[in-house]
Amino acid sequence: MKRLVFCCLVVVCCAVLTGSCGRSSAGIAERAAHWWDGVDFADTTLTGHPEALEERFAAYVALLEDERMDPAAAGPLLRALLGRAEANEEAFYLFGELCEKYLYAPDSPCRDEELYRYALLAVVESDRLDDYRKLRPRYQLNMIGRNRVGEPATDLTFVLPDGGRSSLYAVGAEFTILCFVDPGCPECGEVRRALVRQRVVNRLAEQGRLRVVALYSSPEEDEAAWRASLGEYPDGWIAAYDAGAQVHYRGLYDLRRVPCLYLLDARKRVLCKGAVTAEQIAGALEKAISR
């Protein structure tokens, strides 16, 4: 129920903004710059109605993520908001939580790690938190900096069903879908079946332009469970096992949720990071081949 309310709140805010904002990028930027005018962040009653504050914040995020908004301006505006919120300890914590919920949670419809990075910078530089409470945001900053869209993905090695070894960069294809999975995971099965239903995925795979690497990586290292699940993968997929759980212990990829999908180009540059649905991957593929 909370997930449904959260998504509906974001959708409603986006719809309202689409109808009420000026069509120009300047109009969007102007509105975002003055969105919090008149709000006294030092007022201790500000957080007395968190639902109303969250609704206003959701609408603000919709403004920052509007396609007409200059991304170079959106980040500093969010960072400035956290700076103003420092006047009120409770408000500062609440806005930090809202930034994580809307911009970093894997299942958020408006997840934007690059925008969230600006919020994290404000948090780690704040005097409101001691070093201990900055450990988590600093870790998140580190993970956001890994495998960013447009940059080369981190290479990794894995075990194949025949016992041989290969690596991500050894996969020769115009596009590679790196799909982190767990044996017996219902959501992983749903994503696997959804990928098979995507026409663009099937078309590129049939043309030899796309490969899918389904990688099981877990500190539990249950190789027997992985081998028992091999028959679930479609022909042509590379079913792989992360022996030693290097992805986790070396922090190579941010696996806050499984399944977790990445789309890479021929040079293994990241086109889509941390997707949780086949539709997100298909959309990124369509965008890539239309360029």
H/E element holding 242? none
pLDDT digits (tens, 9 = 90+) for 218-240: 999 999 999 999 999 999 999 99
DSSP 3-state assignment of 177?
A: strand
Beta strands 260-264 and 175-181 are: antiparallel
Q: What is the pTM of this model?
A: 0.87
Residues 6 and 128 reside in one and the same domain: yes
Is 151 inside any structural domain?
no
Residues 163 and 137 reside in one and the same domain: no
Is 123 inside any structural domain?
yes
Q: Is the pLDDT of residue 16 over 90?
A: no
pLDDT digits (tens, 9 = 90+) for 54-72: 999 999 999 999 999 998 9
What is the tally of helices (H) and strands (E) in the chain? 12, 7
| Cα–Cα dist 24/56, whole Å | 22
Domain end call among 114, 144, 174: 144
| Cα–Cα dist 129/108, whole Å | 26
Q: Is the pLDDT of residue 50 over 80?
A: yes
| Cα–Cα dist 69/63, whole Å | 7
Is 152 inside any structural domain?
no
| Cα–Cα dist 218/248, whole Å | 7
